[in-house]
Amino acid sequence: MVDVIIIGAGLNGLVAANYMGKAGKKVLVLERRAIAGGQAVRESFGKDFQVDALHAGGQLRPDIVNDLGLELPTSISEPLISILPDGRQLRLTADADEQTLASIRGLSKRDAERWPEFVAFMTQASAFLDAAYRTPMPRLPHITLAEGWPLAQLALKLRRLGSKDMFRVIRAMPMSALELTEEWFESDAVRAAIASVAINGQTLGPMSAGTGYTLMHTWLNRGGPGHRRIEGGTGRIADALAAALKARGGDVRLSADVKNVIVEDQSARGVRLANGEEISAPIVVSAADPRHSLLDLVGAPELPPEFVWATQSIKMRGAVAKVHLLTDGSHGLPKGTLVIAPSIRYAERAYDAAKYGEMSTQPYLEITTAGRVVSLHFQFAPYTLRQGDWEQLRPVLERCAIDTAASAFPQLKATIRETRSLTPLDLEKTYGLTEGDLNHGQLILDQMFFMRPMPGWSNHKTPIDGFYLCGNGGHGGGGISGASGRNAARAVLNDVGKR
């Protein structure tokens, strides 16, 4: 008999499990796949072909690492390098080192002078966002004093920035990345490089309102414009979390496909696996996306119609594809987060295609390398296609991704030995991401804070007693920071304490 069942051994699931294990709960994590890690998984596509399948890097929030006393592999922050049509490289880092400034100066002296202040602003903005993500978002408008206090503290933190910076941060969130960067920089290439961070993983363009917020979000998760690379791959975060969980008496069961949550009179009683096995527990927490968790695992009949409607209305619409290349090792690509988004218009046009259910023909690309492997993050590849399906389009996708990368690095093509692509459909089928949305629900203004995953349910609870959500769809979610898992665990423990 376990106290808590957690569905999904992604980082959020494992983080939540650890927090509850730490609080003395007996936790069982059930993973559908034969490998743990969820989005942060290190996949093997064959001999010498090990890749970080979905995220080229990332980091858990430092407070989580401390709370859980994790021993994580060292991670290094890499620069973002935008490849410009004339072959020039724009190098951006979160610290205003001379190399970065010189690189910006090559495009604009004025922009180079502004960079340190911009980094300071982004650091401040993401620090605020981090605090916001640690603050539970209660149900409005009737907030108890206990719920109101952390909010008041957050508001105070915002005011303590001083009116100038306070408004800077508030204003920036609903802005578009273009509007925001226009106020700072004159070089279109610099604007585009920053905007690429804002639209990474989002189905939005640099001109979409709210990409100011997504810029802060991704900047926070990465700790700067470029990825944070983990020695041995992102998979090792999951390994560390799983080990820590075992040490806390918890367990992770792989190849355990949860078919549905067992609900009796509006309360969770446990789960039923695909193989028919039933495991009972008073508390079930799902790290899967809200739509799958509620409509498939619980099922509409168990839920109020309005709630079902709200769940169906969550905007997922993923538009990310991955193309991994095993090369002979002589690709000669520089280290770092290499970006192909030379201009704002280039990136916006790439997004336009997604609006109409088409794959970008001139995609925004993020290229990362790990030894012989070269990984291409491709946007935009909309889950919902107007014509054809992703099996038909797979070769087109691979060709387009490789050609675009080769336009910047001509030598690459000849070195390719194997190609392995992940379409939005694969993201759904293999990784259980509904509509291939890495964020379990787009990070758009009407799906953030009090409205994430949906209005009135930002507290990780559901209409089913003892059934909670701890995935990326929750407050703090998006990326592989574990923030949502941490918040959900606190919400659960808070309730359990009351019992």
Partner 1 sequence: MSANQYDAIVIGAGHNGLIGAAYLARAGKKVVVLERREVVGGAAVTEEIFPGYRFTEFSYVVSLLRPEIIRDLELPRHGLKILPLPSTVTPMDNGDYLAAWADHDQTRREIYRHSPRDAEAADEYSRVMARAAKAIKPVISLVPPDPSSMSPRDLMGLLKLGKYAKSLSEKELYRIAKLVTQSSADLLNEWFEFDPLKGTKSASGIIGTFLGPHSPGTAYVLLHHYMGEIDGAFRAWGFAKNGTGGVTAAIASSARALGVEIRTGASVRQVIVKGGRAAGVALENGDELRAKVVMSAADPKRSFLQFVESKHFPDEFTQQIRNFRVRGSSGKVNIALSELPNFTCLPGESPLHRGAISISPSMEYIERAYDEAKYGQYSKNPYIDIIIPSMIDRDMAPPGHHVMSCFVQYAPYDIEGGWDDAKRDAFGETVISTIERYAPNIRRAIVGKQVITPKDIERIAGITGGNIFHGELLLHQLFFLRPAAKWADFRTPLPGYYFGAAGAHPGGGVMGAAGKMAAQEVLKDWR
Residues that bind partner 1 (CB under 8 A): 139-142, 159, 162-164, 166-167, 170-175, 179, 183, 207-210, 313, 315, 345, 348, 352, 355-356, 444-446, 450-451, 455-456
Q: Which is nearer to partner 1, 152 or 243 (CB)?
A: 152
Residue 182 corresponds to which tokens in the numbers above?
Answer: 């226009």
Sheet holding 467-469, edge to edge: 251-253, 27-30, 4-7, 283-286, 467-469
User: How near is the Cβ of 355 to partner 1 at its closest, in Å?
Assistant: 6
Place of tokens 């295609």: 353
Q: In terms of CB distance, is 142 or 498 closer to partner 1?
A: 142
Amino acid at 211: T
Nearest to partner 1 of 75, 196 (CB atom): 196
**Tokens representing 7?**
């569905």
Q: Which is nearer to partner 1, 261 or 448 (CB)?
A: 448
| Minimum gap (Å) between residue 453 Cβ and partner 1 | 13
Contact 51, 370 (CB under 8 A): yes
Count of beta carbons in the 10 Å neighbourhood of residue 258: 22
Alpha carbon 295 to its chain's center:
22
Give the C-alpha distances (Å, rounded to integers) separating 140 from 68, 308, 472, 494: 31, 19, 21, 18
| Closer by beta carbon to partner 1, 284 or else 310 | 310
Torsion of CA 363, 366, 368, 373, to 10 degrees: -20
- The DSSP string of 15-76 is HHHHHHHHTT--EEEE-SSSS-BGGG-EEE-STT-EEESS-S-----HHHHHHHT--PPPEE
Output the DSSP codes for 293-332. IIIIIIIGGGS-HHHHHHHHT------EEEEEEEE-S---
Query: Nearest distance from residue 472's CB to partner 1, in Å?
Result: 19
Nearer to partner 1, 183 or 264 (CB): 183
* Structure-token pair, residue 229: 């690379």
Nearest approach, Cβ of residue 209 and partner 1 (Å): 4
CB of 124 to partner 1, least distance (A): 15
Least Å from the CB of residue 106 to partner 1: 26
Residue 404 C-beta: closest distance to partner 1, Å: 21
Structure tokens at 128: 């605020």
**What are the DSSP calls for 357-411, one per residue?**
T---SS-EEEEEEETTEEEEEEE---SS-SSS-HHHHHHHHHHHHHHHHHHH-TT
The nearer residue to partner 1, 120 or 170, going by C-beta atoms, is 170
Q: How far is the CB of 446 from partner 1 (least distance, A)?
A: 4
Q: In the complex with partner 1, which residue's Cβ is closer, 45 or 184? A: 184
Q: How far is the CB of 210 from partner 1 (least distance, A)?
A: 5
As measured in angstroms, the least distance from the Cβ of 140 to partner 1 is 5
Nearer Cβ to partner 1, position 175 or 192? 175
Q: How far is the CB of 148 from partner 1 (least distance, A)?
A: 11
Q: Which two tokens stand for residue 299?
A: 């099922």
Name residue, tokens 């389009």. Answer: 393
Tokens 């996708």 identify what position? 397
Amino acid at position 369, single letter: T
Q: Which residue has the tokens 């969770």?
A: 268
Tell me the closest approach of the beta carbon of residue 278 to partner 1, in angstroms.
Answer: 36
Q: Which is nearer to partner 1, 170 or 414 (CB)?
A: 170
The residue (of 124 and 260) whose beta carbon lies closer to partner 1 is: 124
Output 171 or 246, the one with its CB closest to partner 1: 171
Closest CA to 112 of 181, 54, 50, 186: 186
